[in-house]
């Protein structure tokens, strides 16, 4: 004979940080490409300038993606749902 035990559990949706970070990196790369095409120096574009711009924009985009995930996590932490769950034993 199995005895069912009903409890209350709290459920919330938490964001996955990796997709937010990768989206930030992708947007940072797009910004770096746009900036490298629009900024001209006196000597012209050099590989070092473009690489440095790309590294900074990718890092900034990743950081902003993590910040967005943390903010989204804080917003969704307030929206908890109470659900009834039953724990059954299969003995």
pLDDT at 35 over 80: yes
Confirm if 2 and 89 have CB atoms less than 8 A apart: yes
What pLDDT sits at residue 68? 95
pTM over 0.75? The answer is: no
pLDDT(31) > 70: yes
Q: Identify which has the larger pLDDT, 42 or 26.
A: 26
11: helix, strand or coil: strand
- Cβ(68)–Cβ(16) under 8 Å? no
d(CA 49, CA 37): 11
- CA dihedral sign of residues 4, 7, 12, 18: negative
Average pLDDT on 63-87 reads 87
Mean pLDDT of 5-27: 88
Q: What's the distance, CA 46 to chain centroid?
A: 32
What are the structural domain ranges in the chain?
A: 17-79
């Amino acid at each position: 004979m199995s005895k069912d035990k009903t409890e209350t559990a709290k459920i919330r949706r938490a964001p996955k940080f990796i997709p937010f970070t990768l989206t930030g990196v992708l947007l940072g790369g797009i910004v770096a490409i746009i900036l490298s095409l629009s900024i001209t120096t006196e000597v012209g574009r050099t590989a070092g300038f473009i690489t440095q711009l790309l590294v900074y924009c990718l890092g900034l985009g990743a950081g902003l993606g993590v910040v967005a995930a943390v903010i989204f996590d804080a917003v969704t932490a307030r929206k908890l749902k109470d659900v009834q769950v039953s724990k059954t034993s299969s003995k």
